[in-house]
Structure 1
Amino acid sequence: MRTSTVRSVGLSVAVAAALTSVAACGGSDDKGGDNRGSAVVKADPIAALLDVQKKTGGESSAKVEGTTQMGTTMSMKQSGTIDWTDGLTGTMEITYTGGTMADAMKQNGGTGAMQARYFKDGYAVNMGEAFARQAGGKHWINYGYADLAKLAGASGEAMKQQMQNTTPDQGVKSLLASGDVKKVGQEDVRGVSATHYSGTVDVAALTAKNSKLDADQLDQLKKQLSDAGITTEQVDIWVDENDLLVKKTERGQMKTGELNSTVYYSDYGTKVSVEEPPANDTVDFTDLVKQQQGAAGGAG
């Protein structure tokens, strides 16, 4: 397999970012809430968000659509359906629209468009015809969360936990955990009247609080975040009259530029079905890494 092919393999690791942006920057899988009266809820942003967390977290699936930009590294758009009843499953259509990743994909003959299918223990990505021509005719790469965690260290372990416990109400939990949340007011979101809430989240502190990383992993994660220039994020959410999340944005700074994510949620309760790609059309990510290491060793 050509080196350029294996180099392009690394691009699809960022497919995780497409779904991570759907989830916000972390949270536990606790679906607790309270039963405060609506009169109290509307007057107090914290109480209101507890109600939103309970209502949105109590749903099982939704349609999602959005965009993600990570500095000069990549920009992408994504749309699909996700179910979070038992881990996270679903299908997303993802298109890289700019950045160094999109450039590298074009250089390798790719279009920048791919489909990702998410399962409880990992996800698979259809890399398209250009990749298949260099990979023995196989279109799909299979990524196990456990394998990615080993390769990426603490950030990989945090991503693994987040992906396996993700729900749309994580943005709500982020704001609640931050202790910094305010009600902005009523705004229109795609024709729906929604209440806008905003706050600032300390990414490392929130991830540490809501993950099950040990002390060494937390230290490593903080260093990785610091190296990337990621410290705080502004999280904004919009909630409809039924206390369901309809939009979420995250904004922050990285060393490579701005981090900016916008996600829209709709059709709660929609039916989600996802099939494993054919085994004979799939190559495992760990096998590609071994091939790359072997090629590098041979070249040396």
Structure 2
Amino acid sequence: MRTSTARRVGTALAAAAALTSLAACSGSDGSQGAAGSGKDQAGAVAGTSPVAALKQVRRTTGGAQSAKVDGTMDMGGVMSMKQSGVIGWADGLSGEMTITYTGGTMGEALKQSGGDGTVKARYFQDAYYANMGDGFASTTGGKPWIRYSYQDMAALGGASGDVMKDQLQNSSPEQGVKALLASGDVKKVGQEDVRGVSATRYSGTVDVAELTAKNSDLDAGQLAAFKEQLALAGVTTQTVDIWVDERDLLVKKAERGEMKTGTFTSTLFYSDYGTQVPRQKPPASDTVDFKELVKQGVTPGGAS
């Protein structure tokens, strides 16, 4: 397979990784306990305790089960992108996103290989599908879609692959709320306007490695390896800000952290909670499995 095709296969992996920004790091319920119900919940949200308020936000947002999402992400010189679509989390992850790379080495690789910088993605409990366009299809017998099994990605990606698999299969907007609850550093900033909606802003600092350890099903060896990779990349903590509307639903989330490749930033907006989620998988006749591409000499990093 041509090197340009290999680059595009590797680029699609970044689209899968980008979805973890929809969830942020998973937070732990830990000793937070469950807030009350009915009037007690309303009183907690209206009160001065950020922790009490966010417990209710977590439940309300998590119970909504689906939403429209759009936003941007930048990873230093590696990748900048924008994304929009619909995700659902009623029974594991589902949804459809359009991801456009606007810069960085990943975006350039995609464009140099004949693409327009855009990947259409569909997410399911067991796999992620990427439509790489007509240029890619011309090298795979007319098949524009690549199927990435989360299990295969985990096996190829080592500890970081296991973490991405864990987050992809459990992604939901409430995870950003959980991250703040587990941070021990959450504070209420005040009221701000988010696209014409009055929202309350909360902010905190999250220890990335610690939150992963608290909330994943990874074993001690996998966690140790992942923490080492974070340290090598220069990532230790990140700030998380969320904005919540009067219905206790998350309407915006922003993250910022430092990496060796530069500053990582992500901003996402959530709307239309309860919207219908596309659930149709691409036809098998239009799909090539990532494992088959690997057998042909293509690696996740884009080498052939």
TM-score clears 0.5: yes
Unaligned ranges ≥5, structure 1: none
Hey, what's the Cα distance between the residues in 2 that align with 1:243 and 1:198? 16
1:27 to partner: Cα distance? 3.9
Counterpart pick for 1:92 among 84, 91, 97: 97
Hey, what's the Cα distance between the residues in 1 that align with 2:298 and 2:159? 22
Percentage of identical aligned residues: 65
1:194-205 pair list within 5 angstroms: 194-205=199-210
Instruction: Check the 8 A contact 1:88/1:166 in 2, yes or no.
Output: yes
Matched, 1:257 2:262: yes
CA gap of 1:80–1:29, structure 2 versus 1, over 3 A, is: farther
1:138 to partner: Cα distance? 1.3
Structure 1 residue identity aligned to 2:250: L
Instruction: Check the 8 A contact 2:204/2:240 in 1, yes or no.
Output: yes
Counterpart pick for 1:160 among 161, 165, 172: 165
Structure 2 equivalent of residue 4 of structure 1: 4
CA displacement, residues 172-217 of structure 1 (integer Å, 9 cap, x when unaligned): 0000001001100000000000000000000000011111111110
Structure 1 equivalent of residue 216 of structure 2: 211
Hey, what's the Cα distance between the residues in 2 that align with 1:224 and 1:99? 21
CA displacement, residues 114-170 of structure 1 (integer Å, 9 cap, x when unaligned): 210000111100001111122222100000000000001111111111111111110
Residues 240-249 or 51-60, more deviating = 51-60
Structure 2 equivalent of residue 60 of structure 1: 65
Hey, what's the Cα distance between the residues in 1 that align with 2:142 and 2:2? 14
Hey, what's the Cα distance between the residues in 2 that align with 1:18 and 1:219? 23
Hey, what's the Cα distance between the residues in 2 that align with 1:270 and 1:40? 28
Hey, what's the Cα distance between the residues in 2 that align with 1:248 and 1:51? 17
Structure 1 equivalent of residue 278 of structure 2: 273
Structure 2 equivalent of residue 38 of structure 1: 42
Structure 1 equivalent of residue 18 of structure 2: 18
Instruction: Check the 8 A contact 1:25/1:170 in 2, yes or no.
Output: yes
TM-score by length of 1: 0.94
Structure 1 residue identity aligned to 2:85: G
CA gap of 1:27–1:158, structure 2 versus 1, over 3 A, is: farther
Hey, what's the Cα distance between the residues in 1 that align with 2:292 and 2:142? 15
TM-score by length of 2: 0.93
CA gap of 1:291–1:29, structure 2 versus 1, over 3 A, is: farther
Structure 2 equivalent of residue 231 of structure 1: 236
1:28 to partner: Cα distance? 6.0
1:130-145 pair list within 5 angstroms: 130-145=135-150
RMSD between aligned alpha carbons?
Answer: 1.8
Hey, what's the Cα distance between the residues in 1 that align with 2:284 and 2:258? 40
Paired positions, count: 295
Hey, what's the Cα distance between the residues in 1 that align with 2:170 and 2:298? 32
1:174-185 pair list within 5 angstroms: 174-185=179-190
Unaligned ranges ≥5, structure 2: none
1:293 to partner: Cα distance? 5.8
Matched, 1:289 2:294: yes
